[in-house]
Amino acid sequence: MIKNISILLVLLLTSISFGQNTVLLQNTNPKAKELKHNLNATKDSLMLSCDSKILKVEIFNENYEQLIIVDANIIQISLKDIPNGNYIIETRLDEKIIPIDLIKHDDYNDASHSSLYPNLEQIIEGKGMMLDEELKVIKSSPNKSIEFILTRGKTKSHSTKNQKYFWTETQIINESGSSKTMRLADQKSVDKMIHRHKLEINSDSGKLNKLTVWEVYNKGAFMENQVSNPEFVYSSSTDLYNHTPYYSTANSIQNL
């Protein structure tokens, strides 16, 4: 079973901090510079500080959510109990919300940095990176089957013949910055994403957020093409997926 396949598209104004098992993608948008955000010395906690008061911090993805009420200028948040995955961290100040991206994955040694993140310049320039289920970077168009690369050759334990898959594009947008995540998801994950998104767009902080979901008919062939060309999902000359979105923010708002 293919799972937890992600493309993390990093904005132009982004820098990267490596930890033992954590990658912090700092928001260096000028409107976010008042919030200092880094990993601590042991790389297992997030350090936040700001001249203005931090009201609350929310850490979430489609499978996890944590809300921390702060009401202070400085806070240290432990990352030890957070499961592996890609996360959005939203820090609420008095008049703005500042988003930060975080990736938590299995431990790796220093020697693996160059192979795990081979082209930092390209990542910082927003060209993105595609991650397998172990959050290791897929560096180029694969010679082996996409399922072998995404699962690192693990044996499938059960059939997914009747399982539906969807390609999702999530955009978090506000005045302090934005982030975009694209990944393959199953029906259960998509249902959670849509439910959460509908709540977000009815709030002041999330009203500009966008979500688009396409149903994928042939996940192996689709991912082969998507790895080779991140713009493939916008193609109109293939029958590997349904070009009419299963869900999109624009259509949802029009139907309200």
Share of the chain above pLDDT 90, in %: 22
**pTM for this predicted structure:** 0.51
Tokens 């029009």 -> residue: 254
CATH class of the domain whose range is 11-104: mainly beta
Cβ partners under 8 Å of residue 30, min gap 6? none
Lookup: tokens for 251: 């259509």
Beta strands in the chain (DSSP E): 5-9, 14-18, 22-27, 35-39, 45-61, 64-78, 85-92, 97-104, 129-131, 137-138, 165-174, 177-186, 210-216, 247-248
How many Å is the maximal CA-CA distance in the chain? 54
Does residue 220 have a pLDDT over 90?
A: no
pLDDT for 71 equals 92
Lowest mean pLDDT, pick from 28-37, 72-81, 132-141, 173-182: 132-141
- pLDDT tens across 19-70, in order? 447 888 878 778 888 999 999 888 789 999 999 999 999 998 877 888 999 9
pLDDT for 57 equals 93
**What average pLDDT does the chain have?**
73
Query: Regarding predicted confidence, which is higher, 255 or 37?
Result: 37
pLDDT for 179 equals 74
pLDDT for 94 equals 84
Query: Regarding predicted confidence, which is higher, 254 or 178?
Result: 178
Query: Regarding predicted confidence, which is higher, 163 or 108?
Result: 163
pLDDT for 160 equals 53
The domain ranges of the chain are 11-104, 127-254
pLDDT for 114 equals 40
CA distance 86 to 135: 9
Does residue 158 have a pLDDT over 60?
A: no
- pLDDT tens across 68-109, in order? 999 999 999 999 888 888 888 889 988 888 888 888 876 544
